[in-house]
């Protein structure tokens, strides 16, 4: 098993949404009320791996898991492309030539063939396939998400992945601000918010990881999100765009992420994930960022697992090397 070469697709949170025993505003804002079993709390985060034959293996990233792996090929390789067949069905197509990734995580051919990219221009009159049309005609949500350092973005999520989308984004706090009748309406709103309120539609994965090294206090993050959400709701109240209903609903962060938002010291993971051997215990996970404990030290490290996407690894009983000069960590 350890000799199988896997192509990493990334971190996914495809399980059920987080729940709270107490859904009052105070509890939801503080994250105090959670499911009883933190290890199993929400989303079932996994590292998704593709075998040479094309089947997928999912490695759990819940608290207490221990990923061990070695990067065995330099560079990134194409993850293939997606065909959207309906609201509930999509098909992953392997890259026919196992080519190197030239455009993000895809080769040029797979980038062109990927139907999921067409959804981003759909509301501007771009063409879509029948399956993608079916997907885009379902209910969508507009949200305002704030990350550990205060960076805030506007984004969209389909109805079935309303919660999971934000879990994968690694939001610290988020508020749904509109329920749209379809994907066209929600993307028109998203562009409107960017143009009129100045909210970006993307926060870089590296910026999310860096912010988790010294996250803002919960009260400060909540305040930033509340201001931005209020600004967007005021904008939506006066827009002429139709096909949506304004809402104000707090997203519930998974308890599994909470360890990354505490005040305890943590440090940037000292090794690049494009080479070498790695192994650590996962203490918490927010989006694709793990709070990791390395053998031989009490220090905790933030590991940006999104850097593994499109890289080739083998699994095994590996361990990350502890930095030689630990005094610099404290």
Domain residue ranges of the chain, discontinuous segments joined by +: 139-253
pLDDT surpassing 90 at residue 119 = no
Q: Of 173, 178, 203, 206, whose CA–CA distance to 193 is shortest?
A: 178
The residues near 182 (Cβ < 8 Å, ≥ 6 apart) are 136, 137, 138, 139, 140, 243
* Residue 20: predicted pLDDT: 73
179 confidence band (pLDDT: 50, 70, 90): very high
- Report pLDDT digits (tens) over 10-68: 999 999 999 874 333 333 344 433 433 444 567 899 999 999 888 899 999 999 999 99
Residue 201 gets the label, from left (phi > 0), alpha (psi -120 to 50) or beta, of alpha
**Average pLDDT for 185-214:** 96
**Are 213 and 302 within 8 A, CB to CB?**
yes
Enumerate long-range contacts of 292-300, CB under 8 Å, 24 or more apart: 292/320, 294/319, 294/320, 294/322, 295/319, 295/320, 295/322, 296/322, 297/322, 297/326, 297/329, 299/265, 299/266, 299/267, 299/326, 299/329, 299/330, 300/264, 300/265, 300/266, 300/267
- Report pLDDT digits (tens) over 234-282: 999 999 999 999 999 999 999 999 999 998 999 999 999 999 999 999 9
Reading the block at residue 71, the tokens are 């990067």
Q: What is the pTM of this model?
A: 0.90
* Residue 28: predicted pLDDT: 37
* Residue 139: predicted pLDDT: 96
* Residue 47: predicted pLDDT: 97
Q: Burial, 221: exposed, middle or buried (Cβ in 10 Å; 0-12, 13-18, 19+)?
A: buried
* Residue 41: predicted pLDDT: 67
Location of structure tokens 């293939």: 80
Residues of the chain above pLDDT 70, percent: 89
* Residue 125: predicted pLDDT: 63
Please indicate whether residue 194 or residue 88 has the higher confidence score (pLDDT): 194
Mean pLDDT for the chain overall: 89
126 confidence band (pLDDT: 50, 70, 90): low
The residues near 74 (Cβ < 8 Å, ≥ 6 apart) are 274, 275
- Report pLDDT digits (tens) over 279-314: 999 999 999 999 999 999 989 999 999 999 999 999
| d(C-alpha 204, C-alpha 208), whole Å | 7
- Report pLDDT digits (tens) over 130-177: 888 888 889 999 999 999 999 999 999 999 999 999 999 999 999 999
pLDDT surpassing 70 at residue 1 = no
* Residue 117: predicted pLDDT: 81
The residues facing 158 across adjacent strands are 140
* Residue 282: predicted pLDDT: 97
* Residue 326: predicted pLDDT: 52
Composition of the chain by helix, strand, coil, percent to 5: 30, 25, 45
- Report pLDDT digits (tens) over 65-84: 999 999 999 999 999 998 98
- Scanning the chain, the segments in alpha helix (DSSP H) are 25-30, 108-113, 130-136, 162-169, 183-197, 205-211, 218-237
């Amino acid at each position: 098993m350890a000799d199988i070469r896997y192509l990493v697709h990334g971190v996914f949170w495809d399980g059920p949404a987080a729940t709270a025993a107490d859904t009052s505003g105070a509890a939801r804002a503080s994250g105090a009320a959670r499911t009883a079993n933190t290890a199993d709390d929400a989303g079932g985060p996994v590292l998704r791996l593709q075998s040479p034959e094309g089947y997928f293996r999912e490695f759990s990233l819940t608290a207490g898991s221990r990923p061990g792996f070695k990067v065995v090929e330099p560079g990134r390789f194409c993850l293939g492309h997606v065909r959207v067949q309906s609201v509930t069905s999509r098909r992953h197509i392997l890259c026919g030539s196992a080519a190197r990734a030239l455009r993000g995580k895809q080769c040029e051919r797979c980038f062109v063939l990927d139907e999921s990219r067409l959804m981003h221009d759909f509301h501007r009159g771009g063409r879509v396939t029948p399956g993608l049309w079916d997907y885009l005609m379902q209910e969508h949500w507009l949200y305002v998400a704030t990350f550990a350092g205060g960076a805030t973005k506007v984004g969209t999520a389909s109805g079935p992945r309303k919660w999971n989308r934000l879990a994968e984004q690694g939001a610290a706090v988020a508020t749904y601000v509109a329920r749209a009748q379809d994907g066209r309406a929600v993307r028109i709103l998203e562009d409107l918010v960017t143009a009129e309120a100045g909210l970006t539609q993307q926060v870089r994965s590296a910026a999310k990881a860096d912010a988790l090294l010294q996250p803002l206090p919960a009260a400060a993050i909540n305040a930033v999100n509340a201001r931005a959400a209020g600004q967007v709701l005021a904008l939506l109240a006066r827009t002429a765009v139709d096909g949506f209903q304004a809402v104000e609903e707090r997203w519930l962060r998974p308890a599994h992420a909470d360890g990354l938002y505490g005040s305890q010291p943590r440090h940037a993971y000292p090794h690049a994930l494009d080479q070498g051997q790695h192994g650590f215990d996962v203490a918490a996970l927010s989006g694709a960022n793990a709070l990791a404990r390395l053998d031989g030290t009490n220090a905790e490290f933030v590991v940006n697992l999104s850097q593994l996407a499109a890289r080739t690894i083998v699994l095994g009983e590996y361990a990350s090397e502890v930095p030689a000069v630990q005094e610099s960590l404290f």
